[in-house]
Structure 1
Amino acid sequence: MPIPVEDAQQRLCALVSPLPAEKVAAADAVGRCLAADVEARRTQPSADLSAMDGYAIGAGDHAGPWHIVGESAAGHPFDDMLKAGEAVRISTGAIMPRGADAVLLQENATREGDSLSLNGEGDPTPRHIRRAGFDFKVGDLLLRSGTRLGPVQLALALSGGHGHLPVHQLPSIAVLDSGDELSADPERCEPHQIPASNGPAIEALARPFVSDCLRIGPVKDTMDAMLEGLERAASADVIVTSGGASVGDHDLVKPALEKWGATIDFWRVAMKPGKPLMVARRGDQVILGLPGNPVSSFVTAYLFLLPVLRKMGGAEEVLPHPVAMPCKTPLPAGGKRTEFLRGRMVGGTVTLIEEQDSSALRALAEADVLIRRNIDAAPTSSAETVETYRIRNGGIA
């Protein structure tokens, strides 16, 4: 009997653990997940800074006029103590001189030689001072273990004084296409063939989360060919097959896996598309048998393969997060399986794409989201809120 989607995801993710940690250069850690908390090794900013271009004003005299005694530029601070009645030219990001307690904006000042006065547009104020440590101080927690590092997280780690970071290793995968109808060359595809598109799509979807991807196939629908393909994939952390996971005469993935020494953990999930999903194990390897229809293959890879890769890579959160959105299209009652319908985002709302066949790649390419319809869900009218998953660019961007 097919198992619920949530149970299948939990069972699958329970089969794997985060891979070991290693320390790498911070710039090489982008796309990886932290294996430990990252704390600040320095204070940011390390001193009071000017937030604007203008003049730093000595404490005790905010009325002026002032005598300009020097300049503080970014990377070139003014070293002397500033006295009442004195000012220094200061640029954005420059260190505030000792003795200064306010900044007069450039546009609020009149300067004649070394004499500075107000022009009536505004007074000196401490509001334009960025205080030392306002962003973070030594010992502050900057990034939690399990955080996936992007460009901003990289910048934060570097600013915190980290040139190297502890991250989890990334898993390797092997993707195996099967089916006599598949053509490896889309430019030389006979009428009885279809281009082998699932394998490249799965690889593209998984690429940000893996260290290496071995493509195998298309593999012929024979037991020997399947076993040979599986043997080629024997060193991968995760094996993904596409096609041959159902119950037809030529669906050989299940018997081939069993003959190869794998143990089937579960087979068939109560979802549409993607019911024939299969999960197996062989030693430390996890094998996912995905359906052959391209939409089913993508949806199951998105909902099952990516969480496994995220967990092995050390991510704190591995499952995709649904986003509630109003749906302009009325939806019928749900059936006996959880459905994932293709939808398009339009101005903060989502509309249902008319074509929902599991082989319709053009409709999938036009989709921004998957609309989740739970088992026996009540019908909806226009503008009711639905759960959606972002799938544009694999949900990464």
Structure 2
Amino acid sequence: MKEDDALLPVEEARARTLALVSPLPQEWVRMEEALGRALAVDVRAQRTLPPWDNSAMDGFAVRSADLTAPPPIRLQVRETIYAGQMPREEVRPGTCARIMTGAPMPAGADAVVMRERTRLAPGGETVEILEAVGPGNFVRPRGEDAREGEVLLARGTPLGIPELGLLVGQGMLTVPVPRRPRVAILSTGDELCRADAPAEGRIVDANAPALSLAVLRAGGVPSVLGIARDTLEDVYQHLAAAEGYDLVLTSAGMSVGEHDFVREALAKLGVERDFWRVAIKPGKPLAVGRKGSTAYVGLPGNPTSSLVTFELFVRPALRRMLGHSDVEPPRVGGRLAGALQKPPGLAHYVRVTAAWQEGELWARPLSTQTSGVLRSAASATHLLHFPREASRLANGDNVELLPLSWGA
């Protein structure tokens, strides 16, 4: 067998796919457009936050050294400090300040006694402290959230709501992120038609719309190129129109049938193929290559095979283009509800529904695993990894599960 014809293990195929792509050039976008994307650069704090020690509770700012005697301890209240207001007086021995949550700590005070542990005298001039506290009690220290000059968030950090809140707190209203990948999607096959142009004897192309949505959910910008007929020239012409995109996805035409022209058309276009077969079911015929700065991935034609290989190979590549530092598919441990068997040689990714029972995640294989049944993909919550050389999995066995990104 030629090296090019070898069946690659899934992990090697994914590594070789990822090696063909890299984070795209950065752009500055507003916060709402940055949500879910990754930072293109390290971001350093421009401000120390909070800028001063402040109270974590409504209560009284005190000197902890004044609270060594048995309670109650009577202190003179010198002022009331509200959030957004700076203290006017220093807390001296025998005195304290009434303070609200978030208000800056006055000089001299090193602790806060919560209001519920005090008894304020009528008129509010004195207060009885009902418990002793140590230094730092209910005090949020200066710089607890950020210190000027330190790396606040590293390059590749996914931007969720807390991360964007940190950046807003630094006065940033736009964020540097890699631009979104532009992805061209091409379906091939004489048997296909568009949903808005049904034809007798043909089936509606579901792959391109499904892949378009998958690209969109992964953070890319999809463009559907239409349907190429089963001739070398038509496939070539459609692929030639896709030059300049960051990624080109094709579905079908990847095997060795008489009408499978995608690999030949890619070669004619000048795409340098890296590999084209993976030791996997579903999804064995998978071609990956590159021309210039454009990566090409030829996916299988069966709808579920197309989605599974997108999940295992394309989505990680898009995440790398988007600058994420962690691009591998997520994995969780679970238990198999049922039994599975297969010949060794191919890794199977079994569609399952998984649910928690008594603290464990139990995965139940769907009744059909055929590649052409899209309905089973709609029912699945996870892919169960049935290792390449394994032949049997018994009821209750520990298994590796991949949560699916394509669900609602």
The answer, yes or no, to whether TM exceeds 0.5 is: yes
Which residue in 2 is equivalent to 1:270?
279
Does residue 388 (structure 1) correspond to residue 401 (structure 2)? The answer is: yes
In the alignment, structure 1 segments of 5+ residues that lack a partner are none
Match for residue 24 of structure 2 among 11, 19, 28: 19
* Structure 1 residue aligned with 2:193: 183
Question: Could you tell me whether the CA contact under 8 Å between 1:57 and 1:124 is conserved in 2?
Answer: no
Q: Which stretch of the first structure deviates more once superposed, 365-374 or 127-136?
A: 127-136
Amino acid at match of 2:215: A
Change (3 A) 1:15 1:102: closer
Partner residue, 1:365: 378
Question: What is the number of residues matched between the two proteins?
Answer: 393
| Distance 1:383-1:93 versus aligned 2 partners, 3 A rule | farther
SS of residue in 2 equivalent to 1:107: helix
Contact 1:173 1:210 (C-alpha < 8 Å) held by counterparts = no
Would you say the 8 A contact 1:40–1:161 is kept in 2? no
2:328 maps to amino acid: L
How big is the shift at 1:329?
A: 2.3
Q: Give yes or no for contact 2:64–2:132 (8 Å, CA) kept in 1.
A: no
Tell me what 2:3 maps to: none
Name which of 32, 41, 53 aligns with 2:58. 53
Matches of 1:129 and 1:381 in 2, distance apart? Answer: 55
For 2:73, what is the secondary structure of its paired residue? Answer: coil
What is the root-mean-square deviation in Å for CA atoms of aligned residues? 2.6
The one-letter code sitting in structure 2 at the alignment partner of 1:231 is A
Alpha carbons 1:19, 1:168 under 8 Å: kept: yes
Alignment deviations for residues 337-375 of structure 1 (CA, whole Å, 9 cap, x no partner): 111001111112222222211122222112111111111
* Alpha-carbon offset, residue 310 of structure 1: 2.0
**CA deviation after TM superposition for structure 1 residue 52, in Å:** 1.3
Q: 1:71 touches 1:77 (CA, 8 Å); kept in 2?
A: no
Tell me how far apart the structure 1 counterparts of residues 84 and 252 of structure 2 sit (CA, whole Å): 61
Change (3 A) 1:10 1:102: closer
What's 1:303 paired with? 312
Deviates more, 1:122-131 or 1:211-220: 122-131
Give the whole-Å Cα distance in 2 for the aligned partners of 1:91 and 1:182: 68
Q: Structure 2 CA distance, aligned partners of 1:119 and 1:366?
A: 61
2:38: which partner in 1?
A: 33
The range that moved more, 268-277 or 151-160, is 151-160
Change (3 A) 1:191 1:93: farther
C-alpha separation between the residues in 2 aligned to 1:283 and 1:85? 76
* 2:361 pairs with 1:356: no
Gaps of 5+ in 2: 1-5
- Give, in whole Å, the separation in 2 of the partners of 1:105 and 1:34: 40
Deviation at 1:176, TM superposition (A): 1.0
SS state of the match for residue 377, structure 2?
helix
Q: How does 1:96-107 map to 2 (within 5 A)?
A: 96-107=105-116
Greater displacement, 317-326 / 172-181? 317-326
Distance in structure 1 (CA, Å) of the matches to 2:102 and 2:393: 55
Partner residue, 2:104? 95
String of CA shifts for 1:36-91, please: whole Å, max 9, x gaps. Answer: 32232322322111111222235553443333333222222322212333333322
2:348 is paired with a residue whose SS is strand
Whether the 8 Å contact between 1:334 and 1:374 is mirrored in structure 2 is no
Secondary structure of the structure 2 residue equivalent to 1:365: helix
* CA distance, structure 2, for counterparts of residue 375 and residue 255 of structure 1: 29
What SS is found at the alignment partner of 2:15? helix
Distance 1:101 1:335 in 2: 68
TM-score by length of 2: 0.87
CA distance in 2, matches of 1:255, 1:389: 33
Spell out, residue by residue over 1:159-217, the C-alpha distance to the aligned partner (whole angstroms, 9 max, x if none).
Answer: 3554554432332110112223333226x645633332211221222224555321111
Paired residue type of 1:10 = A
What SS class does the counterpart of residue 112 from structure 2 fall into? strand
- TM-score, length-scaled by structure 1: 0.89
Sequence identity percentage: 37
**Distance in 1 (alpha carbons) for counterparts of 2:375 and 2:82:** 56
Question: What amino acid is aligned across from residue 113 of structure 1 in structure 2?
Answer: G
Matches within 5 A, 1:2-151: 2-25=7-30, 28-58=33-63, 60-62=65-67, 63-111=72-120, 112-118=122-128, 122-123=131-132, 126-151=136-161
> What SS is found at the alignment partner of 2:110?
strand
Within 5 Å, give how 1:142-181 maps onto structure 2: 142-160=152-170, 162-181=172-191
For the 8 Å contact 1:69–1:114, the answer to whether it is kept is no
Contact 2:24/2:322, CA 8 A, preserved across alignment: yes
Distance in 2 (alpha carbons) for counterparts of 1:267 and 1:90 = 68
CA contact (8 A) 2:50 2:142 kept: yes
> How far apart in 1 are the matches of 2:214 and 2:364?
24
- d(CA) in 1 for partners of 2:143 and 2:343? 54
Task: Letter of the 1:318 partner, please give it.
Answer: V
SS in 2 for 1:226: helix
Q: Deviations along 1:121-152, whole A, 9 cap, x unmatched?
A: x4555421112223342333332222222222
Alignment deviations for residues 247-292 of structure 1 (CA, whole Å, 9 cap, x no partner): 2233221222233333333212111000111123233221111111
